[in-house]
Structure 1
Amino acid sequence: MASITMGAAARPMSSGEKKVIFASSLGTVFEWYDFYLYGSLAAIIAKQFFAGLDAGSAFIFALLAFAAGFIVRPFGALVFGRLGDMIGRKYTFLVTILIMGMSTFIVGVLPNYAAIGAAAPVILIVLRLLQGLALGGEYGGAATYVAEHAPHGKRGAYTAWIQTTATLGLFLSLLVILGTRTLLGEEVFNAWGWRVPFLVSILLLGISVWIRLKLNESPAFVKMKAEGKSSKAPLTEAFARWGNLKYVILALLGLVAGQAVVWYTGQFYALFFLTQTLKVDAVTANLLIAAALLIGTPFFIVFGALSDKIGRKPIILAGCLIAALTYFPLFKALTHYANPALYQAVQNSPVTLTADPSQCTFQFNPTGTAKFTSSCDIAKQMLAANSANYETKNGAGPAVIQIGDKTITVVGAKDLPPDEFKAKEAALKKEIGAALKAAGYPAKADPAQMNTLMVVAILALLVIFVTMVYGPIAAALVELFPTRIRYTSMSLPYHIGNGWFGGLLPTISFALVAQNGNIYYGLWYPVIVAAGTFIIGLLFLPETKDRDIYAAD
């Protein structure tokens, strides 16, 4: 098998290699599908499992659910990366897919808080933690397995199929949710229909496991094992020895961090921006993103194959640079075509917030449960939620909002009894909303005014940026590390980059918008990270496309 894999690049893909790519990709699509289901249905799941908890407990569980989604993924990379380098690629990612699949199916049958009380959220969080750990081990295994089966000169093209899986998983989850919602109706879906997408996953699990069981172990791993060169302590070799650790750090800062923010901006922040900032209704926004994904996804294969010819580094770094240079004009154009009335209001109807600087905080809120109670923070929250551009001026006392000739004073939560503040807050929302509407800020995007073709074109371009940075990344990471510690070494920077740098992007960007008062200001986060990756990668990253990945050391 090793001799076949290392054969001439010109020959066509064999049936065995097709099976390897199909099995690895299908399993990874399924794992991403499982992972995205929770995020897409988080609001419904919160009502089902967290509604009966007191505020303190709800905060803890929300924090744990968030941690499972992003923070624990690198720990999964360590656990399963070590196993993959010691016992083999095939068996390790069989374990990860079983953990992910069974955890997802159990969410579909898990009784809610009303049925079993506090046990429901406890079990749900355990299942989410297992999902996060499993996902941390899946990607590295699948990418390594496919790359080690690929002939020299085609690793970029072969591993690019793995790179489509996160996008296809997101696409599949959106389609299943939309289909189930449409078939059952909103009321039934919110009551119990949300379980259907989770339950359907058991069929995908069965197919994925059946196919993967038919695969052989990676030829590079078999060769290394036969030569007695396998690592007995992958974690120590990967992270305690500077010779390899420097490449782990370089992979994170010179490759994955930029890739992650471009990926999350193109596929997740774009959706967040459409629904939260541009006020496009959720169903329309999901369909627009789905159309863009459909157009853009083939480019994963295009750029993966191109990287076999011109190198991984030029394509990934070019994607980071182009994204950094074009995000601001593209998102402004997205506003213009998706919600022209808002675009005009942002240009022509400035808003002023006068507040005591000591009462203004940076509203970083990754769990969605933190409470910002000062008059300045409340004013910023309400203005940001209404997509208002505003200038902040220093003042004293309660925050004051000036919208045209309308002056609104904002009272902090600590200045009034809770019941009185709740009533005041509701009245304040209406008053600010009415004043912004009078100034030209629309409450919702008008579908009749939307240029759908241009919106899809911009979103598709953002997805193509994703394919530039993400299509060749698996091949680049596999080639950067030796066989004996490859699974461990590549998995950790990948999941720190995508779990932390990428996963925190929406909350950091929203906090930046609220802090600065500009609806586009959150783009500075991906722009700076992508530009930083471009510089670090350009100066220090070696080109890897011609490396012999069968070298154990």
Structure 2
Amino acid sequence: MNINNNLYIDKKPQSYLKTVLAACFGTFLEWYDFLTFGALAVTFGPLFFPSNDPSASLLPSLATFGVGMIVRPIGAAFFGSLGDRIGRKPVFMITISIMGLATLLVGFLPIYSEIGIWAPILLVSLRILQGFSAGGEIGGGAIFLAEHAGEKNRGFKTSFLQLMGPFGILASTLQITFLQQWLSPEEFQAWGWRIPFFISFLLLLLAIYFRKTLEETPIFEELKTKDLKTEGQLLNNFKDSEIRKRMFLLFFCVSGAGAILFFCAQIYLPIFLKTTVRLSAELVDQLSVLSTLFLVLSIIFAGWLSDQVGRKPIITCGLALGALLILPAFWMIETIGSHLPLTQQDINIIGCIMLGLSLILGLLGGPQAAILTELFPAKSRSSAATFPHNLAAGWIGGMLPFIVAWINHRLTSQVGGLYYPAILLLLACVIAFFWLPETNKEKLEK
């Protein structure tokens, strides 16, 4: 099938910039909503799961956050198939609306002392809706942007979408920190925790406005013009041996490995610095902001570099560096932390290690949106890409904190659990080296 490349290659730069801004803003809102819930897990415990034991109330609150990860693959299967049948843009509008409305309703929820058991039931139900919509958005946004990007510099153009995760973390964390400093603990516990959910509704209105102005991707429009039947059913993808193989490669070597590195560099490391090294929370937050900003630059650079040398070398390099350096990095930090008080040189070394891990994560993140799209044919791309991508986030990324903590406990070590992600990254590196195809020259209309 030949598609008129002018449909997307000759689009004016301003037009593509508008597409990037609208797509990224919506994806940022998805991450902001999704992560704000996790950041407030400690607050939700006594409000929705009251108990005399603080740990007992925290556990169901954290489990409620995990439910969102579990249902993401279900949402990906549903919305991915829908995107292949009715188009990328309609699904874009549906997912952002469900996420935004579910998040707004959390802000209006009565707490346990007001309606009893219905409070946690409603909270879990809204969290399920959040995870369900996120499954269609996270992955679907990459396809939408890539199909608008054309053939030239596709890795660079789509890398900006990968920044929305770090920006979502920063926005939700900084907002909650500001509220906790601005309000008294009693005010925040009574009503202040609702403010982020109300703010998300204003962001939702902006996201819907911007997305309404977007055009359907030229590749899907061509599929409709040619009256080609799209294969939206996920089962059809598993029947095709080549698509099935590529879904596994995406699941394990790209999305799963990216989730592993994201957890190690962005989630576990700050916790490790606060608990094991006993750095002040303020210093850790400052270092985390710097490493996140460096991650932004790393992602954009890796996306651009993947256009020059290929997706496979960049991803394989990131996997190899992650497998080799994750454990030594944490060992070095643990050794530094054993000699208190820390000197400025010690802090500088820790900062450099954080930047190095951010660079490794960037090597996976930069080309991710592009290769996620390029691996699959247009008629089944949405369902074939979004399901393994979100399954990796739920199964590998979602379970990683628990498994690492369990291994640490069994080995009575603060870093022993990191053998698990290091081994997974090593396996992913070997598999990617031998079987991951190079895709940066792929025609997306195929």
Task: Identify the TM-score tier after normalising by the shorter chain.
Answer: over 0.9
CA shift, 1:281, in A, is 4.4
**2:65 and 2:127 in contact (8 A); partners too:** no
| Partner of residue 353 from structure 2, selected from 458, 465, 468 | 458
- 1:506: how far off? 1.6
Q: Normalising to structure 1: TM-score of the pair?
A: 0.76
Tell me the distance in 2 between the aligned counterparts of 1:295 and 1:254.
Answer: 23
Please, which runs of 5 or more residues in structure 2 have no aligned partner?
A: none
Do residues 107 (structure 1) and 106 (structure 2) align? yes
The Cα of 1:309 is off from its aligned counterpart by 1.0
Equivalent of residue 515 in structure 1, options 391, 407, 410: 410
- 1:121 corresponds to which residue? 120
In structure 2, the partner of 1:219 is: 218
Q: 2:103 and 2:279 mapped to 1: Cα distance?
A: 30
Say whether 1:14 aligns with 2:16: no
What secondary structure, in the 3-state scheme, does the structure 2 residue paired with 1:194 have?
helix
Q: CA RMSD in A?
A: 2.4
Counterpart position of 1:145: 144
Distance in 2 between the 1:278 and 1:59 partners? 24
- In the aligned structure 2, how far is the partner of 1:492 from the partner of 1:446? 48
- What number of residue pairs does the alignment pair up? 443
**Structure index of larger Rg:** 1
SS in 2 for 1:323: helix
The answer (yes or no) to whether the contact 1:300–1:471 under 8 Å persists in 2 is yes
Please list the CA deviations of residues 101-144 of structure 1 after superposition, one character each: whole Å capped at 9, or x if unmatched: 11111111211111111111010000000111111100222101
Report the CA distance shift for 1:259/1:60 in structure 2 as closer, same or farther (over 3 A). Answer: closer
TM alignment of 1:172-191, pairs within 5 A: 172-191=171-190
Paired letter, 2:6: I
Q: Which residue of 2 aligns with 1:291?
A: 290
Q: 2:369 aligns with which of 459, 469, 474?
A: 474
Question: What is the alpha-carbon distance in structure 2 between the residues aligned to residue 245 and residue 221 of structure 1?
Answer: 22
Secondary structure of the structure 1 residue equivalent to 2:236: helix
- For structure 1, the 5+ residue unaligned runs are 345-444
Indicate if the aligned counterparts of 1:512 and 1:521 stay in contact, CA closer than 8 A. yes
1:274 aligns with 2:273: yes
| Paired residues of 2:38 and 2:62 also in contact (CA < 8 A) | no
Inter-CA distance 237–172: structure 2 relative to 1 (3 Å threshold): same
447-456 vs 282-291, which moves further: 447-456
User: Aligned ranges for residues 23-62 of structure 1 at < 5 Å?
Assistant: 23-51=22-50, 62=61
- Mapped to 1, the partners of 2:65 and 2:177 lie a distance apart of 24
Cα distance in 2 for partners of 1:2, 1:162 equals 26
Q: 1:155 to 1:134 in 2, by over 3 A?
A: same
Partners of 1:75 and 1:247 in 2: how far apart? 19
Q: Is the 8 A contact 2:104 2:201 kept in 1?
A: yes
Question: Which shifted more, 222-231 or 72-81?
Answer: 222-231
CA deviation string 1:369-402 (max 9, x = no partner): xxxxxxxxxxxxxxxxxxxxxxxxxxxxxxxxxx
SS in 1 for 2:293: helix
Give the letter aligned to residue 7 of structure 1.
I
- Note if 1:195 corresponds to 2:194: yes
* Aligned partner (choices 401, 425, 443) of residue 530 of structure 1: 425
Residue in structure 2 matched with residue 254 of structure 1 by the alignment: 253
8 A Cα contact 1:511 1:522, kept in partner: yes
**What is aligned with 1:350?**
none
Q: Deviations along 1:332-388, whole A, 9 cap, x unmatched?
A: 232345x3xxx24xxxxxxxxxxxxxxxxxxxxxxxxxxxxxxxxxxxxxxxxxxxx
Over residues 60-90 of structure 1, what are the superposed CA-to-partner deviations in whole Å (9 max), with x where a residue is unaligned?
A: 9558514423211111100110111110111
- Residue number in structure 2 paired with 1:427: none
Tell me, in whole angstroms, the C-alpha distance in 1 between the residues paired with 2:332 and 2:185.
Answer: 33
For residue 542 of structure 1, give the secondary structure of its aligned residue in structure 2: coil
Structure 2: how far apart are the matches of 1:140 and 1:40?
23
Distance 1:198 1:302, change over 3 A: same
Taking the TM superposition and a 5 Å limit, the aligned residue runs for 1:113-512 are 113-337=112-336, 339=337, 343-344=338-339, 451-512=346-407
Answer yes or no: is the 8 Å Cα contact 1:64–1:125 preserved in 2. no
Report the Cα distance in structure 2 between the residues aligned to 1:454 and 1:116, rounded to whole angstroms. 51
Q: How far 1:524 moved relative to its partner?
A: 0.7
Query: 1:160 and 1:105, CA in 2 relative to 1: closer, same or farther beyond 3 A?
Result: same
2:117 partner letter: A
Give the aligned residue type for 1:236.
L
User: % of aligned pairs identical?
Assistant: 35
Cα 1:41/1:251, change in 2 over 3 Å: same
How far apart, CA to CA, are the structure 1 residues paired with 2:7 and 2:271?
43
CA distance in 2, matches of 1:107, 1:451: 43
Does structure 2 retain, via aligned residues, the 8 Å contact 1:28–1:138?
yes
Aligned equivalents of 1:47, 1:314: Cα separation in 2? 48
